[in-house]
Structure 1
Amino acid sequence: MKKNSEREALRVEHRPENIARRLQREPESQRVSDLVLGGIDGCITTFAIVSGAFGAGFSAAVVLVMGFANLLADGFSMAVSNFEAVAAERDHLESVRRTEKRHIKLVPEGEREEVRQIFAAKGFRGETLERIVATITGNHRLWIETMLTEEYGLSRARYRPLASALATFSAFVVVGAVPLLPFLFAPLSMPSRFAASALLAGLMFFVIGMLKSLVYARPLLRSGFKTLLLGGTAAVLAFATGYLLHSLVDIDAS
């Protein structure tokens, strides 16, 4: 029953008019990777601070100050880094596009030969190959975009640095704040606060892993536990570092 409904949905999706509509849309750059990156890093770094501070014997006030200061500063830093990275990808794409445009203008026959060899390598021969070359090189925009994809392996997705930066920062702050919430409740003891923080952080890691698997059609539990394991490893390292420093160095934990 499930296979039949899936097959019918795919048939509808692959009707000629639906295929044409889908292919005419310019591919969008994915925000999923930005959200996952920000969420995981926000939770890992914040809970690492919680673990290190608890291991060193610091008070709840110190944990909150360190945690929220890091949340904003590191979140902004990460957003800026992602902005620059996406902007660099966009600038590289535009640079290559300008280069190909200039090459087509200066040495069109050489660029046609590149198209010919690219599609010959895909198995096209003779008259069919020549029709493909004529069709592609007859449309200036298609010619350039074909070279970007086939020669340089560049995606046609639109790069939006500001949107990527905002997505990373938002996920970093929202998810990263979760492990700090138990330290806002004064009646709880420090061990209880830390235990609650650890549970919330683990839940965030697991949920992020599951959401990522839903987007990329991966096994839910495996992805959830994998992300949980990675985040938990970072927390254990931070706790051990804080504990060792507290044992080796005379630290005022008040």
Structure 2
Amino acid sequence: MATYTDKFHLQGGELIRQVTFGMNDGVVSIFALLAGMAGAGQEPKIILITLLAATVAGALSMSAGEFISSKSEADYYNHEIEQESLEIKLCPEIEKDELRKIYKEKGFEGELLEQIVDHLSQDRDRWVREMVNDELGVTEIEQGADFKSVIIIFFSFILGACFPTLPYVFMISFPVEPFFIFKIATAVTVGGLFLAGALKKFVTGVNWLKSGVEMLIVGFFAFTVSYAIGLFIPF
């Protein structure tokens, strides 16, 4: 049975993963879109409207994907629970042998092995979940369509998208050259890319400087390709 500390670490790690994933996707995808629009010579107002629309659409798309993915996983898990429960009800001795094999592979044997099997099989619900968790390689804490996760993904994407978008929001009314706003947005996004990459340290454990530089490389690759498309393809 997972302890409170185990659940805290798993949930905390999942939270960081969601924030990092959403923010990374937001900053890279919107930055690439900005590059394509700027390369095509679009006006700042058109760029701003496009970036805002893409930000909302991207955040909604990622949130919907997270919800559907989590719900599908939960449905699959619950189906396996029902299936395993039926098998235990119809063939308890066969399922007990499977439970015995599971714990034998974990290194238990003899009287201790039999005590574990007897203890687990006394509680039907615990028995079912133990079988499913071992067979699927998942735990209950990973299950369920979590509305909180959807909200976190949504706002994390928007947070990442703010780096290339906000300079246009604040500077569009000023009498400056369009390319100047683009340069400011690019400079701000460089910081956002590095920050988004550095945050991956809390998920991967990789050095924050290395993660930040890797993210800059990925971001500028997307930037270069998108800018080239906008620059050389006639609209």
Q: Which runs of 5+ in 1 are unaligned?
A: 1-18
Matched, 1:87 2:71: yes
Q: Residues 115 and 25 of structure 1: is their aligned pair in 2 closer, same or farther, counting only changes over 3 Å?
A: farther
Deviation per CA, 1:176-231: give whole Å up to 9, x if none.
02211222312332222222211222211211222221354331111111222222
The match for 2:119 among 135, 139, 150 is: 135
Moved >4 Å (runs of 4+): 23-27
Report the aligned-residue RMSD.
2.2
How do 1:213-224 residues align onto structure 2 when only pairs under 5 Å count?
Answer: 213-224=201-212
Q: Which runs of 5+ in 2 are unaligned?
A: none
Q: Is 1:84–1:161's contact at 8 Å kept on the other side of the alignment?
A: no
Q: Residues 125 and 226 of structure 1: is their aligned pair in 2 closer, same or farther, counting only changes over 3 Å?
A: same
Deviates more, 1:103-112 or 1:34-43: 34-43
CA distance in 2, matches of 1:232, 1:163: 32
Q: Is 2:194–2:212's contact at 8 Å kept on the other side of the alignment?
A: yes
Question: Secondary structure, in 3 states, of the residue corresponding to 1:188?
Answer: coil
CA distance in 2, matches of 1:188, 1:45: 26
Matched, 1:55 2:39: yes
Q: Residues 120 and 219 of structure 1: is their aligned pair in 2 closer, same or farther, counting only changes over 3 Å?
A: same
Q: Is 2:17–2:203's contact at 8 Å kept on the other side of the alignment?
A: no
Shift of 1:129: 1.5
How do 1:1-254 residues align onto structure 2 when only pairs under 5 Å count?
Answer: 22=5, 28=11, 30-157=14-141, 158-184=143-169, 185=171, 186-245=174-233, 249=234, 251=235
Paired residues, what number?
229
Deviation per CA, 1:30-59: give whole Å up to 9, x if none.
222222222111111211111001111111
Question: Secondary structure, in 3 states, of the residue corresponding to 2:200?
Answer: helix
Q: Is 2:16–2:202's contact at 8 Å kept on the other side of the alignment?
A: no
Shift of 1:140: 2.2
The TM-score with structure 1 as length reference comes to: 0.82
Question: Secondary structure, in 3 states, of the residue corresponding to 1:187?
Answer: coil
Identity of aligned residues (%): 27
Partner of 1:15: none
Q: Is 1:27–1:156's contact at 8 Å kept on the other side of the alignment?
A: no
Q: Is 1:210–1:221's contact at 8 Å kept on the other side of the alignment?
A: yes
The TM-score with structure 2 as length reference comes to: 0.88
Amino acid at match of 2:140: R
